[in-house]
Amino acid sequence: MGMTMTQKILAAHAGLERVKAGDLIEAKLDIVLGNDVTTPVAIDVFEKAGFERVFDPEKIVITLDHYTPCKDIKSAQLCKRARDFARIQGVTHFYDVGAVGIEHALLPEQGIVGPGDCVVGADSHTCTYGALGAFSTGVGSTDMAAGMASGENWFRVPSAIRVTLKGKLQPYVSGKDVILHLIGMIGVDGALYKSLEFAGEGVASLSMDDRFTIANMAIEAGGKNGIFPVDERTLEYVRDRFHRPVKVYEADPDAEYEREVVIDLDRLRPTVALPHLPSNTRTVDEAAGIPIQQVVIGSCTNGRISDLRAAATILKGRHVAEGVRCIVIPATQRVYLQCVEEGLSQVFIEAGCAVSTPTCGPCLGGHMGCLADGERAVATTNRNFVGRMGHVKSEVILASPTVAAASAVRGCVASPELL
Amino acid sequence: MTTGKVFKYGDNVDTDVIIPARYLNAPDPAELAKHCMEDIDADYVDRVRPGDIIVGGANFGCGSSREHAPIAIRASGASCVIAASFARIFYRNAINIGFPILECPEAAASIGDGDTVSVNFDTGEIVDETTGRRFQATALPPFIGRIVENGGLLPYLRARMEREAK
């Protein structure tokens, strides 16, 4: 029996000829990532265990992106802890305010991760880099500490679900709709402990930003990772930014999959997830009219340049509805600058949006847009759990950038097609 | 071996309700414990006693990778979590910090809120003292068992690296 793409990458990093689902292995890591929430805890664990030096300062990435620019004194203390550690250890890829972007948009953009890599990050959305054909998964702070100390982590080799994409995306339908639809089909634990391996002719029609969005939310189906085959578009993306050797892995023709799920992109509708699970999906048509008080456009899921361009096409010449706050957060400094240069920032500001420096902020109810008791938001973020964006009695509806922008204009969940 | 009163919750208990992000700026375990389960059960912190047991359904601990979640549960006094299944990052985190978790769909379905339950961590046997029913949790793979026996991943790793250095 052959191996899946994920299994091949894990085998190569464990120094093994073959692995099979269920094997427990120890694999070498190309990159170990942490942020301002998880890194301080990892540093505590690292130091308490008596470790002094990280295994390789060029393979550690620390991004201060969650509560920055620091929302309060406690978060400033956390950032200081991470900053001091990065300096003492000589961490090459350390990103502070002014350079930092939301980690999962930043690492691919900066060419820190690439095809064939084995990456762990102390952040659940680390699965994003599967879009590049890497094995990449979220872990906790102790795993980050172990990775920093030894350059290795333990893994249970996952089985896989093959997600076959047919056809191509229609206007106003994006990667966000693909992944929400998939989570709605298989549930929030539908891929528990498993890989989601995307395949089929439909992959070719997906932009890299669409693929990042899709891989990003593999965790919302419980997945260990989500991974895309490497094609011309991937190679074009990494060509001038990723400077380590590109390693392309392909699933064996006889790789074993637990099941196959087929999604016909031609027929996919703009999709939203109602409170309080990402699997609680509806088409935008079914959800239209639900009143909202806030819109957030940004996050590691949908804060990339093509997301903001899509939102701007809807907001251009229009205005955010009375009684709605619309917060736009470019995911990285480069994306922010592109917004300025392309005139998108002006579109957003003229439409009545608040435009912010990169931060994870509102997605996790951290800052920059927390919700009050009884308020409801449409957000391009990734989780709509109870209390996720603020008050325990607030609600989040997940959507694509164009649906979010249309909803901001209408003051309720709305389809961009009807504006 | 532990015996405690059960706090029972449903499927998909996510790490945002176990410890909301608004408290992650103060990662001291005692601070986190003050807000454990706050958004799913505001009374939990006042009612939990050392040794008590949390029982969840499927996909316990889904969502954010925050290790603060099992840290908060342990610091709140709970002795273990029994669930039908665990989200994978929560599973890793609990193992890695040496906090006992038991996967047992039958126990998760049968045990009621407020029941008194005993758990034998060596054998994985779970006894609902209130109903008299017995359950067997899935055994940990030997490799993972060694991590737990060493008190967590870092002590395990340190011992291994020292062994290899010799």
Q: Give the pair of three-digit tokens for residue A30.
A: 């190309």
B149 within some domain: no
Q: DSSP for A67-114?
A: STTT-SHHHHHHHHHHHHHHHHHT-SEEE-TTT---HHHHHHHTT-S-
Q: Which of B12, B62, B157 faces A146 most closely, judged by CB atoms?
A: B157
Distance in angstroms (rounded) separating the CA atoms of residues A396 and A388: 8
User: What are A2's strand-pairing partners?
Assistant: A255
In sequence order, what are the residues at sequence separation of 6 or more whose Cβ sits closer than 8 angstroms to the Cβ of residue B62?
A188, A189, A222, B12, B13, B14, B15, B87, B90
Asked if residues B98 and B151 have their Cβ atoms less than 8 Å apart, the reply is: yes
Domain shared by A232 and A305, yes or no: no
CB-defined contacts A:B, below 8 A: 137
The helix/strand/coil state of A31 is strand
Task: Give me the percent of chain B exceeding a pLDDT of 90.
Answer: 85
Of A203, A232, A263, which residue constitutes the final position of a domain?
A263
Least confident of A79-93, A275-289, A335-349, B134-148: B134-148
Domain shared by A246 and A296, yes or no: no
B161 within some domain: no
A104 upstream amide cis, omega within 30 of 0: no
Which residue type, as a one-letter code, is found at position A187?
A: G
Distance from CA of B129 to the nearest CA of A (A): 31
B158 within some domain: no
B152 within some domain: no
pLDDT digits (tens, 9 = 90+) for A359-417: 999 999 999 999 999 999 999 999 999 999 999 999 999 999 999 999 999 999 999 99
Task: Give me the percent of chain A exceeding a pLDDT of 70.
Answer: 100
Phi/psi at A385 (nearest 5 deg)?
-65, 165
Of A216, A246, A263, which residue constitutes the final position of a domain?
A263
Q: Which of A46, A143, A222 faces B96 most closely, judged by CB atoms?
A: A143
Domain shared by A114 and A185, yes or no: yes
Distance in angstroms (rounded) separating the CA atoms of residues A58 and B105: 44
Q: Is B81 on the interface with A (CB under 8 A)?
A: no
Domain extent for B101? 2-139
How many of the other CB atoms lie within 10 Å of CB of A245? 8
Domain shared by A303 and A344, yes or no: yes
CA–CA distances in Å: residue A266 to residues A130, A166, A201, A406, A416:
24, 8, 12, 22, 17
Asked if residues A228 and A134 have their Cβ atoms less than 8 Å apart, the reply is: no
Average pLDDT over residues A211-218: 98
Distance in angstroms (rounded) separating the CA atoms of residues A263 and A181: 9
Q: What is the pLDDT of residue A419?
A: 87
Q: Which of B25, B65, B157 faces A72 most closely, judged by CB atoms?
A: B25
Q: Which of B25, B65, B144 faces A124 most closely, judged by CB atoms?
A: B65
B77 within some domain: yes
Average pLDDT score over chain A: 98
Which residue type, as a one-letter code, is found at position B78?
A: A
Chain B residues within an 8 Å CB radius of A392 = 38-39
Q: What is the pLDDT of residue B164?
A: 87
Sign of CA dihedral A241, A402, A100, A141: negative
Q: Mark out the alpha helices in A250-343 (DSSP H runs).
A: 284-287, 299-302, 305-315, 333-341
Phi/psi at B55 (nearest 5 deg)?
-120, 125
Domain shared by A19 and A116, yes or no: yes
Q: Which of A140, A385, A392 faces B92 most closely, judged by CB atoms?
A: A140
Distance in angstroms (rounded) separating the CA atoms of residues A198 and A6: 11
Best of A47, A79, A143 to disrupt the B interface (most B CBs within 10 Å) is A143
CA–CA distances in Å: residue A53 to residues A12, A321, B108:
26, 53, 43
B156 within some domain: no
Number of structural domains, chain B? 1
Of A263, A290, A319, which residue constitutes the final position of a domain?
A263
Domain shared by A255 and A340, yes or no: no
- Indicate whether A262 pLDDT > 90: yes
User: What are A196's strand-pairing partners?
Assistant: A161, A226
**Which is more confident, B145 or A178?**
A178
If you measure CA to CA, which chain A residue comes closest to B95?
A142
Distance in angstroms (rounded) separating the CA atoms of residues A396 and A141: 27
Average pLDDT over residues A188-196: 97
B150 within some domain: no
Asked if residues B27 and A78 have their Cβ atoms less than 8 Å apart, the reply is: yes
Q: What is the pLDDT of residue B1?
A: 87
Pairing of strands A135-138, A60-63: unpaired
Picking from B89, B94, B90, B157, the residue whose alpha carbon sits closest to that of residue A137 is B89
Domain shared by A255 and A287, yes or no: no
B159 within some domain: no
Number of structural domains, chain A? 2
Domain shared by A133 and A244, yes or no: yes
Q: Is B93 on the interface with A (CB under 8 A)?
A: yes
Chain B residues within an 8 Å CB radius of A149 = 154, 157, 161
Contact between B64 and A366 using a beta-carbon 8 Å cutoff: no
pLDDT band at B162 (very low <50, low <70, confident <90, very high): confident
Distance in angstroms (rounded) separating the CA atoms of residues A359 and A367: 9
CATH number, domain of B63, equals 3.20.19.10
Q: Is A78 on the interface with B (CB under 8 A)?
A: yes
Pairing of strands B125-128, B133-136: antiparallel
Distance from CA of B38 to the nearest CA of A (A): 9
Contact between B92 and A46 using a beta-carbon 8 Å cutoff: no
Q: What is the pLDDT of residue B151?
A: 87
Q: Is A24 on the interface with B (CB under 8 A)?
A: yes
Domain shared by A166 and A250, yes or no: yes
Q: Is A313 on the interface with B (CB under 8 A)?
A: no
Distance in angstroms (rounded) separating the CA atoms of residues A44 and A49: 9
The H-or-E segment that residue B95 falls in is: helix B88-97
Chain B residues within an 8 Å CB radius of A48 = 154
In sequence order, what are the residues at sequence separation of 6 or more whose Cβ sits closer than 8 angstroms to the Cβ of residue A407?
A292, A295, A378, A399, A413, A414
Best of A44, A141, A277 to disrupt the B interface (most B CBs within 10 Å) is A141
Q: Is B40 on the interface with A (CB under 8 A)?
A: yes
Pairing of strands A160-166, A259-264: parallel
Distance in angstroms (rounded) separating the CA atoms of residues A323 and A107: 36
Least confident of A19-23, A162-166, A300-304, B136-140: B136-140
Domain shared by A371 and A320, yes or no: yes
Region at A397 (left for phi over 0; alpha for psi -120 to 50; beta for the rest): beta
Q: Which of B87, B147, B158 faces A50 most closely, judged by CB atoms?
A: B158
Domain shared by A200 and A235, yes or no: yes
Q: What is the pLDDT of residue A1?
A: 85
pLDDT band at B140 (very low <50, low <70, confident <90, very high): confident
CATH number, domain of A124, equals 3.30.499.10
- Indicate whether A324 pLDDT > 90: yes
Q: Give the pair of three-digit tokens for residue A407.
A: 């909803």
- Indicate whether A194 pLDDT > 90: yes
How many of the other CB atoms lie within 10 Å of CB of B127? 17
Q: Is A146 on the interface with B (CB under 8 A)?
A: yes
Distance in angstroms (rounded) separating the CA atoms of residues A81 and A52: 15
Q: What is the pLDDT of residue A320?
A: 98
Contact between B154 and A45 using a beta-carbon 8 Å cutoff: yes
Domain shared by A30 and A149, yes or no: yes
Sign of CA dihedral B103, B16, B92, A1: positive
Domain extent for A75? 5-263
